[in-house]
């Protein structure tokens, strides 16, 4: 019978320890999952064309007037508030998983942009921001003096 040496895989062992540690924490602090579920991070899509960056942010249930956008040369900050809608028959709520409150997300941009020419549109719960890329001179000829 041929014996092979045991191969130690430290990263697999670290991952196993992390999962075990998470399991133990979950047993002693079950509220952790509930807090994570209450935080809403809106999903985004960011893509680039020849002339601009296009950012789409899903903000379901948010009204247009409750959205604030800040565009910088290298980042976009989207801040919105989803307000709770009160109905008459809410005294017997069995489960509520919907998020209400302030949502804020800062998105780093892969290229420099021109924030002065940014424009945004909000339709059907999707915020679309189009930002022209900054014109950066890649080459410059210099005359000798």
d(C-alpha 19, C-alpha 4), whole Å: 28
d(C-alpha 75, C-alpha 134), whole Å: 13
Rounded to an integer, the average pLDDT of 25-33 is 66
> Under CATH, which number does the domain 42-85+99-135 receive?
2.60.40.790
Question: Could you read off the pLDDT of 94-116 as tens digits, one per residue?
Answer: 777 777 888 889 999 999 999 99
Question: Could you read off the pLDDT of 37-55 as tens digits, one per residue?
Answer: 456 788 999 999 999 999 9
Per-residue pLDDT at 126: 96
- Can you list the alpha helix ranges (DSSP code H) found in 7-109? 10-28, 31-38
Residue pair 130/119 in contact by the 8 Å Cβ criterion: yes
pTM of the model: 0.64
**CB contact burial 125-137 (16+ within 10 A = b; e otherwise):** eebebbbbbeeee
Per-residue pLDDT at 37: 47
């Amino acid at each position: 019978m041929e014996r092979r040496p045991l191969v130690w895989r430290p990263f697999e062992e670290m991952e196993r320890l992390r999962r075990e540690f998470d399991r133990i924490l979950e047993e002693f602090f079950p509220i952790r999952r509930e807090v994570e579920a209450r935080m809403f991070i809106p999903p985004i899509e960011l893509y680039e064309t020849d002339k601009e960056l296009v950012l789409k942010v899903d903000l379901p249930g948010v009204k247009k007037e409750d959205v604030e956008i800040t565009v910088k040369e290298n980042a976009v900050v989207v801040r919105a508030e989803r307000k709770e809608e009160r109905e008459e028959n809410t005294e017997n709520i069995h489960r509520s998983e919907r998020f209400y409150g302030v949502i804020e997300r800062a998105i780093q941009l892969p290229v420099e942009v021109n924030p002065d020419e940014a424009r945004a549109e909000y339709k059907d719960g999707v915020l679309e921001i189009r930002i022209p890329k900054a014109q950066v001179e890649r080459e410059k000829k210099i005359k000798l003096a």
